[in-house]
């Protein structure tokens, strides 16, 4: 099997010759990770990954959230060593302002939505739901994406689109403390906002699927409104129905979905069974998370592929021998199950230690070589 064949066999729940290894970084640069192709130290990992790992070339693609009549602009100023950057939303004479202030080595951030009144104004803004306008915006971005697709060697894996979910349109602009309170005091308003935002996401997903832009869709949203920050009931209102519909849209066009979730997942795993992605990343055991692979497979059965779960901090602190042991333990625990082995996070260190690089190499080589005919690869 090559990497692409191994990836899709795993996502289909079919036997693989080896457990697929995913290091999370894409082929083309993405803002949250260093550029592994050009970074002097990570390039060693990138080159070795061509032999050992699958690659999902994660790209973002979307259209603006609000209608054009909402004036959204940036302002910046430098004054006596203090750099201030503001984002301003203005509509019918009212404003919301976020602010990031940097001085020396400190940064202070004021979110766009900081009060009940801010939330109410934000949720009243007209959203970008006009199909023709959304289509025109997406078409203008399509050539750049297709150029990257043409550059990506298909045998490495697959293009993967990450386009968000309705909850991201509101959560990223809020203080988390207030966000939890609003789940109790402004629930109906937020649900209404999410329902209207979903109109845009339907158009975006259908556009990408109709243009056959990617075979895999990466959904990052479920962790943004989950216990213990909000109740499970809120999770089932703000996340489950919207993600479930988008997953059904993707599956209806024959493509695959990987959902992403960091955190305390055990008590809501059955909700992911309801949403029904092809795979779920990442299952985190204690003390970082609250769910082992064994516990997770007891809940999801053979219904989806689980992805994980070596913590990124282990790449910084372990010896290569310990990293190899960790990998073998995961493969033993998940023997015969639907597994893709991965770190919990991608390479975001601009200046990684040599130990980090050594551990990436140990991670890949151990998983590739460890008794692969019996361990890890799906046999059922």
Structural domain includes residue 360:
yes
Say yes or no: 7 and 77 in one domain: no
d(C-alpha 218, C-alpha 246), whole Å: 11
Say yes or no: 24 and 82 in one domain. no
| 207 belongs to a structural domain | yes
Q: Are residues 209 and 349 in the same domain?
A: yes
Question: Which residues are registered as beta bridge partners of 59?
Answer: 161
Instruction: Please check whether residues 319 and 360 belong to one and the same domain.
Output: yes
Instruction: Report how far residue 115's alpha carbon sits from residue 175's, in angstroms, rounded to the nearest whole number.
Output: 9
For β-strands 71-79 and 82-91, DSSP reports them as: antiparallel
237/339 same-domain check: yes
Looking at residue 176, its pLDDT comes to: 81
Write down which residue in 76, 99, 126 finishes a domain: 126
221 and 309 in a common domain: yes
CATH number for the domain that contains residue 143: 3.20.20.210
Q: Same domain for 160 and 87?
A: no
For residues 296-313, give the mean pLDDT. Answer: 95
Residue 104 structural domain = 66-126
269 and 322 fall within a common domain: yes
Q: Has residue 379 got a pLDDT over 70?
A: no
119-123, 173-177, 192-196, 244-248 — which is least confidently predicted?
173-177
Q: What is the pLDDT of residues 50-74, one digit of tens each?
A: 999 999 999 999 999 999 999 999 9
- pLDDT above 90 coverage of the chain, percent: 93
Domain tally, the chain: 2
What single DSSP character describes residue 318? Answer: S
Residues 14 and 107 in one domain: no
pTM of the full structure? 0.95
């Amino acid at each position: 099997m090559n990497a692409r064949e191994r990836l899709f066999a795993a996502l289909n729940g079919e036997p693989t010759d080896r457990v697929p290894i995913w290091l999370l970084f894409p082929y083309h640069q993405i803002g949250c990770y260093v550029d592994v192709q050009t970074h002097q130290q990570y390039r060693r990992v990138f080159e070795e990954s061509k032999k050992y790992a699958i690659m999902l070339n994660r790209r973002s693609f979307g259209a603006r959230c609000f209608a054009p009549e909402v004036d959204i602009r940036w302002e910046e100023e430098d004054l006596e060593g203090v750099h201030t950057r503001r984002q301003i939303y203005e509509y019918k004479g009212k404003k919301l302002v976020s602010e990031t202030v940097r001085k020396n080595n400190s940064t202070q951030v004021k979110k766009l939505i900081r009060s009940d009144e801010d939330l109410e104004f934000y949720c009243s803004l007209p959203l970008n739901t006009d199909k023709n306008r959304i289509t025109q915006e997406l078409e203008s971005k399509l050539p750049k994406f297709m150029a990257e697709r043409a550059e990506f060697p298909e045998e490495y894996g697959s293009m993967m689109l990450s386009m968000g979910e309705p909850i991201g349109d509101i959560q990223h602009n809020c203080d988390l403390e207030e966000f939890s309170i609003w789940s109790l005091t402004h629930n109906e308003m937020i649900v209404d906002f999410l329902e209207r935002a979903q109109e845009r996401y339907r158009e975006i997903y259908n556009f990408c699927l109709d243009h056959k832009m990617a075979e895999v869709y990466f959904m990052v949203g479920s962790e943004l409104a989950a216990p213990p920050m909000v109740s499970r009931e809120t999770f089932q209102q703000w996340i489950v129905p919207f993600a479930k519909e988008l997953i059904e849209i993707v599956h209806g066009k024959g493509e695959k979905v990987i959902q992403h979730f960091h955190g305390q997942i055990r008590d809501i795993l059955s909700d992911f069974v309801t949403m029904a992605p092809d795979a779920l990343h990442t299952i985190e055991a204690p003390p970082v998370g609250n769910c082992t692979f064994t516990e997770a497979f007891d809940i999801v059965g053979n219904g989806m592929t689980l992805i994980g779960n070596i913590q990124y901090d282990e790449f910084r602190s372990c010896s290569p021998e310990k990293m190899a042991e960790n990998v073998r333990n995961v493969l033993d625990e998940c023997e015969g199950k639907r597994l893709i082995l991965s770190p919990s996070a991608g390479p975001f260190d601009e200046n990684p230690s040599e130990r980090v690089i050594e551990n990436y190499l140990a991670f890949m080589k151990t998983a590739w070589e460890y008794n692969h005919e019996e361990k890890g690869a799906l046999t059922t």
